[in-house]
Amino acid sequence: MGIVTDRLRGRKTNHVVEDLGPVDDRDSQDTPPENLARAEKEAEQHPEEVTKEAPIGVQKAEAAALVWTKKAIAITYGWIWVCYFMLALHEYIGSNVLYYAYSNFQSASQVTTAYILATIIGGVLKLPIGKLLGLWGRAEGLIVFLCVYILGMIILAACNGPNSFAAGYVFYWIGYDAIYLILEIYIADTSGLRNRAFAFAFSTTPFICCAFTGSLAANSFVKTSGWRWAYGAFAIVQPFVFAPLIYIFKHYERKAYKQGLLTRVPSGRTTMQSIIHYIHEFDVVGALILMAAFVLFLLPFSLASYGRTQYHNAAFIAQVVIGFCLFFVFAAWEKWVARVHFIPYGHLRDRTVIGACVLAAILYFSFYCWDSYFYNFVMVVYDLDITHAGYLTSIYTVGSCVWSPVFGLWIRQTKEFKYSCLFFAVPLMVLGAGLMIHFRGQDADIGYVIMCQIFIAFAGGMLVIGEQMAVMCASTRDNIPIMLSIVSLFTSIGGAIGAAVSAAIYSNTFPEALRKALPASAQADWETLYAGGYLAQMKYAPGTEVREAINFAWGHMEKYEAIAATAVLVLAFPCVIMWRHYSVDKKQNKGTML
């Protein structure tokens, strides 16, 4: 979630002439410990000045922190919490009314494609968003992506077919993810290292109450004004929710200009030169190649789970092969053609950043391995209604959001996070996922499943905070937004791959297990039961032969998904070991901090 200072480490792009010419390589000699020490030294030597070498977006954030008061920051954090609450509330409302939105065309392949595109495109766009915030500013970025978010809700509210639904869904999630990222960057801008873990964790607490109230609000929309107003109402309300925050950003920015902390420096570029500059700065071609590679490589696996294609089909093979080859095309583009790298490879050479990013991908890969079909699994196997199934699947959200502020306070007191993650969080995550292998299916009590979910939730809450703190400690103040963006990119990639693997496991284990377990009298119905999902499967009463066979198939499938999730978590240990042992009592930011 951030911006790049010096654009990218090891790259050079300055002013007009050099923007239109080749970029010279230069290797920074700063190591991560030196970065933190240099940031502390800069804050001590020039406490009342903005950092002149920083990009304008960072200078604006720094200047605002130099001119506002403790009261202002307290009010701002309170309003940020309101913004998070409204984002979380609509996320839960949207997830509950979504079925009604596409109930007339849910079999259309565009719906499935939209889910995957939103994840992949939203993930890849996080790096350009981080650059945008540095080159323009936090307020400007928030305005742009608030418009994208609102546009997505308007399209969803008005959609009458799968194409418009898919477009609205993709716009909605791109805007949502960007806004969330910007708010996190703002928290990083305005909090000291020692309090930052708690500030990040506190921002997730709205999800605790929304996990239970969201479904009730969605039900009220559906029964009264209709599902379209679940999007339309928030398209009207959300601009007024975020307007005060944008005003605060700009108010203190203008105040800094008046006090002389900031000065406007013309770029000296013409309009055409600016267009060329930003095309290179954001590496638009590289971003498009990378998005195409992930879409073509991952999309066929998910489509196969919905029966849209088969593994032996020429279309499936062609998409996977082309997608795989595009990764090499992207590497060639980055090495020999791109003047500014899309991925900041200089940062990825640091062991702490590598460990945190790979850990982020592993955690989301593991999560989506077992979670993708978990809702249907618990509903069918344990015969739960929609409400209780929703409560059970909300354990991770609620548990992680409750425990992460506790971990934030722990970091504030102990000033460390590495060994807490290594010796408590990672083993607890492996234990929770590993026990799912045994405590699943119709023969296990649901209480053990809840226990596993609590273990995974507590561990996940700690590790997400830990990985974010690791990259922020390894970075200079200027580079924090881009570091958070890199972590978010890896989470999106890991989640997309995990979902694809889960879909592949489901389509290759569930149908076979169902056919084998069904009694002879129901063998002809296996395709109907498979394609009909939990609605068709729950028509059979618990205890009947057919329902027992269905429960067995779900348990069989979940076993292999839990095995995949647990196996990959072994790699989490070396990832955390790679982190440097940072003390969070260093001063990284200037101005009035939380």
Distance CA 322, CA 258 (A): 55
Distance CA 60, CA 135 (A): 10
Q: Report, in angstroms and rounded to the nearest whole number, the Rg of the chain calculated over CA atoms.
A: 24
Mean pLDDT of the 419-441 span: 92
Distance CA 402, CA 457 (A): 9
For residue 475, give the DSSP letter.
S
- Mean pLDDT check: name the lowest of 4-13, 304-313, 477-486, 489-498: 4-13
Q: How far is CA 550 from CA 438, 538, 543, in A?
A: 18, 9, 11
pLDDT at site 1: 34
Contact 341, 332 (CB under 8 A): no
Distance CA 122, CA 114 (A): 11
pLDDT at site 235: 95
With a cut of 70, say whether residue 108 has pLDDT above it: no
Q: How many of the other CB atoms lie within 10 Å of CB of 323?
A: 18
With a cut of 90, say whether residue 218 has pLDDT above it: no
pLDDT at site 144: 92
Distance CA 452, CA 145 (A): 37
% pLDDT > 90, the chain: 30
% pLDDT > 70, the chain: 87
With a cut of 90, say whether residue 485 has pLDDT above it: no
Distance CA 50, CA 429 (A): 42
Give the residue, 103 or 210, on which the prediction is more confident.
210
With a cut of 70, say whether residue 501 has pLDDT above it: yes
With a cut of 80, say whether residue 399 has pLDDT above it: yes
Q: How many of the other CB atoms lie within 10 Å of CB of 520?
A: 7
Q: How many of the other CB atoms lie within 10 Å of CB of 193?
A: 25
**Does domain 52-263 sit in CATH 1.20.1250.20?**
yes
pLDDT at site 240: 95
- Domain segments of the chain: what residues? 52-263, 284-338, 346-593
Tens digit of each residue's pLDDT (9 = 90 or more) over 306-323: 656 777 788 888 988 999
Contact 417, 465 (CB under 8 A): yes
pLDDT at site 154: 95
Tokens of 584: 């969070």
Characterize 76-108 residue by residue with b for buried, 16 or more Cβ atoms within 10 angstroms of its Cβ, and e for exposed.
bbeebeebbbbbbbbbbbbebbbeebbeeeeeb
Tokens of 208: 């605790």
User: Are 52-263 and 346-593 equal in CATH topology?
Assistant: yes
Distance CA 134, CA 365 (A): 30
Tens digit of each residue's pLDDT (9 = 90 or more) over 320-378: 899 999 989 998 998 888 888 877 777 778 899 999 999 999 999 999 898 888 888 88
Most confident of 39-53, 148-162, 341-355, 485-499: 148-162
Tens digit of each residue's pLDDT (9 = 90 or more) over 141-158: 899 999 999 999 999 999
Give the residue, 422 or 131, on which the prediction is more confident.
422
Strand, helix or coil for residue 25: coil
**Helix-helix angle 426-438:545-569, to 10 degrees:** 150
pLDDT band at 214, cuts 50/70/90?
confident
With a cut of 50, say whether residue 159 has pLDDT above it: yes
Single-letter amino acid, residue 391: Y
Tokens of 348: 């990825």
pTM, two decimals, is: 0.82
Strand, helix or coil for residue 198: helix
pLDDT at site 2: 36
**Alpha helix (H) ranges present in 372-414?**
374-381, 386-393, 395-414
pLDDT at site 54: 72
Fold observed for domain 346-593: Growth Hormone; Chain: A; (1.20.1250)
